[in-house]
Structure 1
Amino acid sequence: MALSVVYAPNDVITPATVDIVAVHGLGGDAIDTWTHPRSKAFWLKDFLPPLVPDARIMTFGYNAAAAFGQSTAEVIDHAKSLLSSLVDKREEPEEVQRPLIFIAHSLGGIVVKQALLQARLEPLYESIKEATLGLIFLGTPHRGSDKATYGKVLANVAQFVSHRPPARLLTALQTNSDVLLRLTSDFKFQLPDYQVYSFYEQRPMKGLSSLIVEKYSALLEVAHEEQIPVDADHSAMCKFDIEEDPTFEKVYKRVKRIRKDPQTVTGGNPRFKNTHFDVPHLLSPAFTGRDEDLRCLTASFAARSPSQTGSQRRFVFFGLGGSGKTQICLKYIQDQRERYWGIFWVDASTDEYIQRSFAQFARILQVDENIDSVKRKLANSAEAWLLVFDNADDPNLGLAPYLPAGNRGDIIITSRNPQCQHYNTVGYREVGQLPLPDSISLLDKTIYGTENPPEGATDTSKKIVEALGRLALAIVQAGAFIRETACSHREYLEIYQRRQKDLLLRHPTHAGTDYQYSVYATWQVSVDMIASRHGRVGDHTLRLLDLLGFYHRDQIPIQMFYYAGDQSRTARVPEGVPWRDMISDLSDYRQAVRASMSLLASFSLITRNADSSVSLHLLVHEWCRDRQSDEERQVNYRRAVSLLARSVKSSFGCRMRRTR
């Protein structure tokens, strides 16, 4: 008896996040049962991995004739062998909690049912029961039918799928049928814990006039079971010639469905494991896309253990305010809540707010109300926990004093500051603009909810999301405006062209989330932080921000600012160069440029490019001008033109100069 891995993801590129185990029945083995006789396609290895690249796929091989040919004790022994092999394969901490899906053909389903029943009875195997999400039965005889007793059904399976089955096997199946039938009855008490899909054959095997396992026998007949017919005989129903085989597609989609909703069974009741849940924000009902961000986060937390990383598992999302970092975290929490004993949300915008959050955690965890007590409780907890530090935007605020010691737990950090990526131990992602299809879908969901958008709306939807730079917050608030005012897409575009600033300053009443800022207001928070906490450098930074709105938003060369100052033949900043009223020394001027660029980048208001230039998001670029008064715009326009003219004159003849 052996549990063999037929496909394992690359732990670095695509870590495993789910285990799939296939169990054959009588007359089969770990390979042939799942292999098409003509094409030799072994679908567990050839077809399934590309569709579920983060799944480890295994087959359990055993002597089925021996398992069913004597007493029911043999079935139990083989079931325990399956459990023991799984425990051995899943001994790392992240493997123990990894979701598990069983696919069983014929009498292999009886072994799986017996295994899960034993896992409920024996603490040694409890982790297998807890990790199992769903079961796919392919022609498993669960009971007798109106045409034959259960013993006769089992004997028929043995007689027609095994090559010359020994008489003792046929006798044993009939003798033990009552005990095996009780197994099905006992197992039904566990069924609410799992998603169950029962496939039944519709064609007799060659040379026979009747089915090996009738429909009635192949069904458990429970409320949340999905019953699926297969246009094939008992042997062929688990062998697929091509990837487009209709039955393979149904099997694959059920695997996908089990993974998509791992905490709730089909039509059944949810399994609750989460005890502490302190999350103050709402996931938008219109949340759309971000599949790759979520896949990367889920895989990083599911597939790497502390022993592999040597440290705590931390993942960082950074990007422009309004890009959707917080919503990604909320979506992950919704999908994975029951993986964690405790989920704790920290407002990391200031030290004061962090301390306030930890005081709340202390009350929840019933420890002394200080940060060290909470950290010590989490550091020593044997339960899985998740800590989210949201809005850790202030470049002067360090998170290290608030991180629990040791290598336990999962931590997510969201920030506008790209430098926060250095807190990661398992991965980080920059959250940028949404892909076009997801942007349109987000707009449609915000406006129409679950209803379909009207005919012909896609073209104008595309124009709207492109005008908004495919920024998630801007799209949601645009959709809320269209819904609340009942204007058409075309009317919104006309209003936006005339009153862009007003719309981007507007905060809709019913946007579907508790996010408190409009698009422009969320960036004004960054400006206020720069002005209040960064002294003289902050003043220089805001002056630079005022100028950037008057250049093309893409690839603004930083050297331009240096060239403008290099005209001076003295150590003084020349006339007409920005900040001359604030800085007179040329070396101070150059340092101010560097510090200001760094500070803007720390709030993701600009993006640094590999060619020593910077770029701005479409809406940030427009906001740079909109935030200024008419008089300020006139003054800063002249400054921007003067700086550009001086830099071009200074760089004239320089080989490094590039005209755009």
Structure 2
Amino acid sequence: MAGCGKTQLVSYFLQEHGSRYPHILFVDTSSSISLKNDFQAWARSLGNGHEHDVWEDARRLLASTLEENWILVFDNFDDPKLDLEPFIPRSKYGTIIITSRNRDASNFAGIYHLELGEMEKTEALAVLLRAARRQARLLREEMESANELLERLGFLAVALVQAGSLCYQRSSLNEPFTFTDYLSLFDSERATFMQLVLPTLDNYQLGTYAALNLSYRTIPVLCQKFLHFLAFFHHSYISLEMFANAAKFKFADPIYLMRRQSNEKPMFADLYSILYLDGEWSEVHIHEIARNLRAFSLISISSTAGIVFLHLHPLVKSWAKDILKEHEL
């Protein structure tokens, strides 16, 4: 089931225990093209003669060359027509995790298979309350609104976290932003989305998109633009160091290899406006943008070997690419 927390569960595990694995490879398994691209990109990132490796080299490295612990995450293996077998390296040093909405993916489970379904009502309520930083004892009207919200959001973790985070961020010491307040906004936002031509969305996804859009409209414009830009990366392990290195060259090519297309200039101008503060690259500024996005649970942040990484939930990424263009960012 989409949105029940499969990718988030893996991300949390890696954030807590990633130090066990000198090599972490997170690949988009939604298609063979994305699989090969991510394998190849990882191999080339190793440097030291691997700059021209292809995806088969990455698999070979994992299977026979590396003699250190590694973990490989096949994320979103949902297409039953995709043959995953050729991409699986076998090594005593390796750990492989597969996330999928396709139950047949359990056939690859050599040791453990964990099926995540819809949360129980008590579990979903706990997620909502924790995200909103509320006590379990609510007034009757507020509890009724909370239960109604659980139903509207289909007990999906990603949507409940969005709702709770927004309630917390919009609350003050003297005036909490209640679940009743949120329901009123949510109904209005959902009605707006129903008028858009989004035939691929089911009712639960529609609710999730509406919850995400409520959070999106609350954050500063620079954060909106940066989120829109992040949506075109793979959803996990987006390095902030990459932006810092690009900013040092003002997004120009340090080595001239080929002529840039003219339509790329507006994109560079947008990046400059987002990442620079008063005409200068500011690490504090970009970290503040990231903290704002994390405060509304639109991204999560981890750190490995001193490098800061940003992560988007796959549904957040899909929403950003499907919807943000409609708002003409």
Partner amino acid, structure 1, of 2:313: Y
Q: Give the aligned partner of residue 32 of structure 1.
A: none
Q: Give the aligned partner of residue 6 of structure 2.
A: 325
1:37-81 CA-to-partner distances (Å, cap 9, x unmatched) read: xxxxxxxxxxxxxxxxxxxxxxxxxxxxxxxxxxxxxxxxxxxxx
Q: Give the aligned partner of residue 341 of structure 1.
A: 22
Q: What is the rounded CA distance, in whole Å, between the counterparts of 1:454 and 1:520 in structure 2?
A: 35
User: Does structure 2 conserve the Cα–Cα contact (< 8 Å) formed by 1:440 and 1:458?
Assistant: no
Query: Structure 1 residues 429, 502: closer, same or farther in 2, change over 3 A?
Result: farther
Counterparts of residues 432-581 of structure 1 (less than 5 Å) = 432-448=117-133, 455-456=138-139, 457-458=142-143, 460-483=145-168, 486=171, 487-497=177-187, 500-502=190-192, 504=207, 505-506=209-210, 507=212, 508-509=215-216, 510=293, 511-512=296-297, 513=299, 514-515=312-313, 517=315, 521=319
User: Does structure 2 conserve the Cα–Cα contact (< 8 Å) formed by 1:473 and 1:519?
Assistant: no
Q: Give the aligned partner of residue 379 of structure 1.
A: 63
Say if 2:94 is the partner of 1:404.
no
Q: Give the structure with the larger helix fraction.
A: 2
Say if 2:38 is the partner of 1:357.
yes
Q: What is the rounded CA distance, in whole Å, between the counterparts of 1:369 and 1:520 in structure 2?
A: 30
Q: What is the rounded CA distance, in whole Å, between the counterparts of 2:167 and 2:182 in structure 1?
A: 7
Structure possessing the higher relative contact order (Cα contacts under 8 Å, 6 or more residues apart) = 2
Query: Structure 1 residues 498, 363: closer, same or farther in 2, change over 3 A?
Result: closer
Partner amino acid, structure 2, of 1:492: Y
Q: What is the rounded CA distance, in whole Å, between the counterparts of 2:109 and 2:314 in structure 1?
A: 28
Say if 2:107 is the partner of 1:417.
no
Partner amino acid, structure 2, of 1:324: G
Aligned-pair CA distance for 1:454: 7.9
User: Does structure 2 conserve the Cα–Cα contact (< 8 Å) formed by 1:386 and 1:411?
Assistant: yes
Mark the runs of 5 or more structure 2 residues left unpaired by the alignment.
Answer: 172-176, 194-206, 217-292, 300-311, 324-329
Q: What is the rounded CA distance, in whole Å, between the counterparts of 1:497 and 1:519 in structure 2?
A: 23
User: Does structure 1 conserve the Cα–Cα contact (< 8 Å) formed by 2:62 and 2:91?
Assistant: no
Q: What is the rounded CA distance, in whole Å, between the counterparts of 1:324 and 1:491 in structure 2?
A: 26
Q: What is the rounded CA distance, in whole Å, between the counterparts of 1:520 and 1:326 in structure 2?
A: 14
Q: What is the rounded CA distance, in whole Å, between the counterparts of 2:161 and 2:170 in structure 1?
A: 14
412, 423, 427: which one aligns with 2:112: 427
TM-score by length of 1: 0.28
Q: What is the rounded CA distance, in whole Å, between the counterparts of 2:59 and 2:188 in structure 1?
A: 52
1:199-246 CA-to-partner distances (Å, cap 9, x unmatched) read: xxxxxxxxxxxxxxxxxxxxxxxxxxxxxxxxxxxxxxxxxxxxxxxx
Aligned-pair CA distance for 1:496: 4.2
TM-score by length of 2: 0.53
Aligned-pair CA distance for 1:497: 5.0
Q: What is the rounded CA distance, in whole Å, between the counterparts of 1:430 and 1:442 in structure 2?
A: 19
Q: Give the aligned partner of residue 77 of structure 2.
A: 392
Query: Structure 1 residues 520, 400: closer, same or farther in 2, change over 3 A?
Result: closer
| 3-state SS of 1:410 partner | strand
User: Does structure 2 conserve the Cα–Cα contact (< 8 Å) formed by 1:348 and 1:389?
Assistant: yes
Q: What is the rounded CA distance, in whole Å, between the counterparts of 1:404 and 1:470 in structure 2?
A: 36
User: Does structure 2 conserve the Cα–Cα contact (< 8 Å) formed by 1:389 and 1:412?
Assistant: yes
User: Does structure 2 conserve the Cα–Cα contact (< 8 Å) formed by 1:439 and 1:472?
Assistant: yes
User: Does structure 1 conserve the Cα–Cα contact (< 8 Å) formed by 2:124 and 2:150?
Assistant: yes
Counterparts of residues 249-328 of structure 1 (less than 5 Å) = 320-328=1-9
Query: Structure 1 residues 431, 389: closer, same or farther in 2, change over 3 A?
Result: same
User: Does structure 1 conserve the Cα–Cα contact (< 8 Å) formed by 2:4 and 2:116?
Assistant: yes
Aligned-pair CA distance for 1:516: 6.1
Partner amino acid, structure 2, of 1:345: F
Query: Structure 1 residues 409, 518: closer, same or farther in 2, change over 3 A?
Result: closer
Aligned-pair CA distance for 1:469: 2.5
Q: What is the rounded CA distance, in whole Å, between the counterparts of 1:490 and 1:519 in structure 2?
A: 28
Identity of aligned residues (%): 28
Counterparts of residues 50-89 of structure 1 (less than 5 Å) = none
User: Does structure 2 conserve the Cα–Cα contact (< 8 Å) formed by 1:322 and 1:519?
Assistant: no
Partner amino acid, structure 1, of 2:97: I
Query: Structure 1 residues 383, 406: closer, same or farther in 2, change over 3 A?
Result: closer
Q: What is the rounded CA distance, in whole Å, between the counterparts of 2:28 and 2:55 in structure 1?
A: 14
User: Does structure 1 conserve the Cα–Cα contact (< 8 Å) formed by 2:131 and 2:165?
Assistant: yes
| 3-state SS of 2:35 partner | helix
User: Does structure 2 conserve the Cα–Cα contact (< 8 Å) formed by 1:322 and 1:474?
Assistant: yes
Partner amino acid, structure 1, of 2:183: L
Aligned-pair CA distance for 1:455: 4.9
Aligned-pair CA distance for 1:440: 2.1
User: Does structure 2 conserve the Cα–Cα contact (< 8 Å) formed by 1:474 and 1:519?
Assistant: no
User: Does structure 1 conserve the Cα–Cα contact (< 8 Å) formed by 2:37 and 2:55?
Assistant: no
Larger radius of gyration: 1
Partner amino acid, structure 1, of 2:57: S
Q: Give the aligned partner of residue 244 of structure 1.
A: none
Aligned-pair CA distance for 1:365: 3.2
Aligned-pair CA distance for 1:419: 1.6
Query: Structure 1 residues 520, 343: closer, same or farther in 2, change over 3 A?
Result: closer
1:287-328 CA-to-partner distances (Å, cap 9, x unmatched) read: xxxxxxxxxxxxxxxxxxxxxxxxxxxxxxxxx111111001
User: Does structure 2 conserve the Cα–Cα contact (< 8 Å) formed by 1:376 and 1:405?
Assistant: no
Query: Structure 1 residues 519, 464: closer, same or farther in 2, change over 3 A?
Result: farther
| 3-state SS of 2:113 partner | strand
Q: What is the rounded CA distance, in whole Å, between the counterparts of 2:117 and 2:83 in structure 1?
A: 24
Aligned-pair CA distance for 1:426: 0.9
| 3-state SS of 1:346 partner | strand
Aligned-pair CA distance for 1:355: 1.6
Partner amino acid, structure 2, of 1:420: A
Query: Structure 1 residues 501, 386: closer, same or farther in 2, change over 3 A?
Result: farther
User: Does structure 2 conserve the Cα–Cα contact (< 8 Å) formed by 1:346 and 1:390?
Assistant: yes
Q: Give the aligned partner of residue 271 of structure 2.
A: none
Q: How many aligned residue pairs are there? A: 203
Aligned-pair CA distance for 1:410: 0.6
Partner amino acid, structure 1, of 2:132: I
Aligned-pair CA distance for 1:446: 2.4
Query: Structure 1 residues 480, 520: closer, same or farther in 2, change over 3 A?
Result: farther
| 3-state SS of 1:444 partner | helix
Alpha carbon RMSD of aligned pairs, Å? Answer: 3.1
Q: Give the aligned partner of residue 197 of structure 2.
A: none
